[in-house]
C-alpha cells in the first residue's frame, strides 16, 4: 500500500542504533549523582570520573527486561490508563511559567491556575491522565510548591497522574503522598500508579536532580518517561540523524540505570527534539524538523520494543491564532498517527513551552477529540454497512427518518463544542466570535460545573497533614 509517511528504513534505524552504541562506548554519558555512579560500578560498567561507558551487550541485556506495555492505575479504576502497543494516553501541558490570556497579555502563573487546569483535566472527555507542573505557580516558594501541586493532582481528579521529577527529595515526598493515598508503600511497590518524567540534559548528561529522582521511582517500580530534547544545530548536530543518535544514546543510558535498579520497571523512550532557530538561538518547536523527530522516535522505540512519548499540540505562537492552530494540529495528528503511546503537552501550550493558555487548552482538547475520532478503528460488518436501511431508502430516499440515525449519530459523528458549523447568518447573530472567544466562554461553563471527586475524608486529612508537616520541615531547613 502506498504511504507518504514512510519514515526511516530498517537499514537506517539500524544505522542510528549503531551510532548510539558507538557514542555510549566511546563518548559515554555523564551522571552527576554519586549513587548512580556507584550502581554502575557495582554492575561492571566502566566509570571514569562522572562518565559512564556502555557496551552494546550490556545495553541490550538490560533493555530486554523493560516491558513493551503497562497499565497505570487511577484511584477510579474505570480511569486506569494503558500505555504501549496500540494504546495511547493524552496529557496536558507541562512546565509553563506564564499564562497568556485571550487578549494576548502575559502574566505569571498562579496556584489558582494550576488548580483550574486540574479541574479541566478531570472534566475532559479526551485527556487520559493528569500532568504535573502544568504551570509553575509564582505565588508559592519553589522549594515547597511541589507539595501543593501534587496534592491538587490527588484531590481534584481521580484520574491517573504524573509525579514530580524535580529532584530526589521531591520524588520521595510524592512517593510518600502516593503511599498515603493507596494505603501503604507495599500497595504500590511494582504496581504503577504514576509516571515521572526524567529529562537528560543534551548532549549526554543526567543532572544530579534527575538521576536522583530516577533512582527513587525505579526502586518503587514506578514508570519513567525519558523525553530527550536535542536541538539540531546547538545541543546536537545540525543533521537530524546525528541528533537521533545522541537522543538514543542518552535515553538508553537512563533506561539501563532504571533496569539495573529494578528489572522490569516500565520505561518510555521519548523526544521533544527540534531544530534551532538560527535567527534567535531558540527552539523551533513548531517547525517541520520537530515533526520528523516525532516519526523517528516511534520507529526507534519500536526497534527496542518500548513505548514511546512525544510532545503534542506544540507551537511557537504567543496566541491561539492560526499559526498555533496549524503547528499544534499537525504535530498532534502526526504524532498519534505515527504511533506515539504517551503524549504530554496535548493541550494548552503556547510560546514554545513558556506559557499555557486556558483558551488554547480547550481548543486543543477539541482537536484531540477530532484526532481520536479519525484514528478510531472502523468496523466493517453487516451492521455497519446497514444494507437494510439502504434498501428501504432506495433511490433518492432520506435516512433522517430512520431510528438508527438518531440512536447512533452521537457515537458515529464527532460533534465539536467550539468549532463553528451552520450558516453565516447564524454566526453573525451570535456576535461573529473567534474560536478563542468561544473557548473563554466555555472555560467559565466547565469550571462552574466542576464537581470534586470523592476521596475518603481520612485520607484527604492525612495527605494535607503530611503536606503541612513537610512545608514546615523544608522552611526550617530540614
How confident is the model over 148-198, as pLDDT tens digits?
999 999 999 999 999 999 999 999 999 999 999 999 999 999 999 999 999
| Mean pLDDT on 221-228 | 96
Query: Of 235 and 41, which is predicted with more confidence?
Result: 41
Q: What are phi and psi of 286, to 5 degrees?
A: -95, 10
304 and 290 in contact (C-beta within 8 Å)? Answer: no
Q: Which cell goes with 463?
A: 495527605
Look at residue 356 and tell me whether its pLDDT is greater than 70: yes
Q: E-strand spans in 60-105?
A: 69-72, 81-84, 89-90, 98-100
Look at residue 214 and tell me whether its pLDDT is greater than 90: yes
Q: Considering the domain 1-376+416-478 in this protein, what is its CATH number?
A: 3.20.20.480
pLDDT of residue 89: 97
pLDDT of residue 477: 81
Query: Residues of 381-401 as b/e, b for ≥16 C-beta within 10 angstroms?
Result: eeeeebeeeeeeeeeeeeeee
- Digit-coded pLDDT (tens) for 391-436: 999 999 999 989 998 888 888 888 999 999 888 988 898 899 999 9
Task: Count Cα atoms within 13 angstroms, Cβ side, for 303.
Answer: 23
198 and 226 in contact (C-beta within 8 Å)? Answer: yes
Who contacts 299 (Cβ-Cβ below 8 Å, separation ≥6)? Answer: 7, 8, 13
| Mean pLDDT on 357-379 | 95
Look at residue 4 and tell me whether its pLDDT is greater than 80: no
Distance spanning both ends of the chain, measured CA to CA? 63
Count the Cβ atoms, other than its own, within 10 Å of residue 44.
Answer: 8
Report how far residue 114's alpha carbon sits from residue 246's, in angstroms, rounded to the nearest whole number: 34
289 and 241 in contact (C-beta within 8 Å)? Answer: no
Angle, alpha carbons 252-217-455 (nearest 5°): 135
Q: Which cell goes with 361?
A: 487548552
Look at residue 444 and tell me whether its pLDDT is greater than 60: yes
Query: Beta strand pairing status for 205-206 and 29-31?
Result: parallel
Look at residue 265 and tell me whether its pLDDT is greater than 70: yes
Going by pLDDT thresholds of 50, 70 and 90, the confidence category of residue 102 is confident
pLDDT of residue 177: 98
Q: What is the pTM of this model?
A: 0.94
Cα dihedral 405, 411, 417, 419 in deg (nearest 10): -70
Domain with CATH 3.20.20.480 in the chain: 1-376+416-478
Who contacts 429 (Cβ-Cβ below 8 Å, separation ≥6)? Answer: none
Amino acid at each position: 500500500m502506498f504511504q507518504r509517511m514512510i519514515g526511516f528504513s530498517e537499514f537506517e534505524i539500524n544505522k542510528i542504533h549503531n551510532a548510539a552504541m558507538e557514542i555510549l562506548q566511546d563518548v559515554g554519558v555523564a551522571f552527576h549523582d554519586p549513587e548512580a555512579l556507584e550502581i554502575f560500578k557495582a554492575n561492571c560498567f566502566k566509570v571514569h570520573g562522572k562518565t559512564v561507558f556502555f557496551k552494546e551487550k550490556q545495553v541490550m541485556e538490560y533493555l530486554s527486561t523493560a516491558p513493551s506495555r503497562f497499565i497505570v492505575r487511577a484511584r477510579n479504576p474505570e480511569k486506569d490508563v494503558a500505555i504501549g502497543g496500540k494504546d495511547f494516553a493524552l496529557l496536558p501541558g507541562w512546565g509553563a511559567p506564564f499564562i497568556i490570556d485571550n487578549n494576548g497579555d502575559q502574566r505569571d502563573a498562579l496556584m489558582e491556575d494550576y488548580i483550574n487546569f486540574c479541574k479541566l483535566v478531570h472534566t475532559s472527555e479526551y485527556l487520559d491522565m493528569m500532568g504535573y507542573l502544568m504551570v509553575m505557580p509564582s505565588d508559592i516558594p519553589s522549594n515547597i510548591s511541589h507539595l501543593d501541586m501534587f496534592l491538587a493532582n490527588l484531590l481534584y481528579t481521580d484520574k491517573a497522574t504524573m509525579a514530580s521529577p524535580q529532584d530526589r527529595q521531591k520524588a520521595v515526598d510524592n512517593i510518600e503522598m502516593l503511599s498515603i493515598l493507596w494505603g501503604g508503600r507495599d500497595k504500590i511497590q511494582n504496581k504503577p500508579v504514576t509516571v515521572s518524567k526524567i529529562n537528560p540534559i543534551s548532549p549526554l548528561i543526567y543532572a544530579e536532580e534527575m538521576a536522583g529522582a530516577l533512582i527513587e521511582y525505579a526502586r518503587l517500580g514506578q514508570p519513567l518517561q525519558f523525553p530527550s530534547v536535542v536541538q539540531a544545530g546547538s545541543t546536537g548536530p545540525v543533521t537530524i540523524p546525528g541528533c537521533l543518535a545522541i537522543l538514543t544514546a542518552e535515553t538508553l543510558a537512563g533506561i539501563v540505570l532504571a533496569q539495573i535498579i529494578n528489572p522490569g520497571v516500565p520505561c518510555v523512550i521519548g523526544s521533544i527534539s527540534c531544530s534551532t532557530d538560527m535567527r534567535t538561538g531558540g527552539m523551533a518547536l513548531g517547525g517541520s524538523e520537530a515533526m520528523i523527530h516525532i516519526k523517528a522516535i516511534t520507529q526507534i522505540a519500536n526497534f527496542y520494543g518500548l513505548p514511546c512519548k512525544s510532545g503534542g499540540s506544540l507551537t511557537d505562537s504567543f496566541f491561539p491564532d492560526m499559526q498555533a492552530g496549524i503547528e499544534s494540529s499537525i504535530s498532534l495528528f502526526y504524532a498519534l498517527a505515527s504511533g506515539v503511546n504517551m503524549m504530554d503537552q496535548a493541550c494548552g501550550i503556547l510560546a514554545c513551552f513558556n506559557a499555557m493558555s486556558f483558551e488554547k487548552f480547550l481548543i486543543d482538547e477539541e482537536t484531540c477529540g477530532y484526532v481520536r475520532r479519525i484514528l478510531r478503528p472502523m468496523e466493517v460488518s453487516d451492521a455497519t454497512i446497514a444494507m437494510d436501511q439502504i434498501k428501504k431508502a432506495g433511490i433518492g430516499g432520506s435516512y433522517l427518518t430512520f431510528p438508527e440515525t438518531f440512536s447512533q449519530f452521537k457515537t458515529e459523528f464527532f460533534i465539536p463544542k467550539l468549532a463553528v458549523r451552520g450558516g453565516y447568518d447564524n454566526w453573525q447573530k451570535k456576535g461573529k466570535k473567534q474560536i478563542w472567544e468561544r473557548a473563554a466562554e466555555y472555560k467559565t461553563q466547565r469550571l462552574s460545573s466542576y464537581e470534586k471527586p470523592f476521596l475518603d475524608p481520612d485520607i484527604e486529612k492525612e495527605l494535607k497533614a503530611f503536606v503541612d508537616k513537610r512545608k514546615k520541615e523544608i522552611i526550617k531547613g530540614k
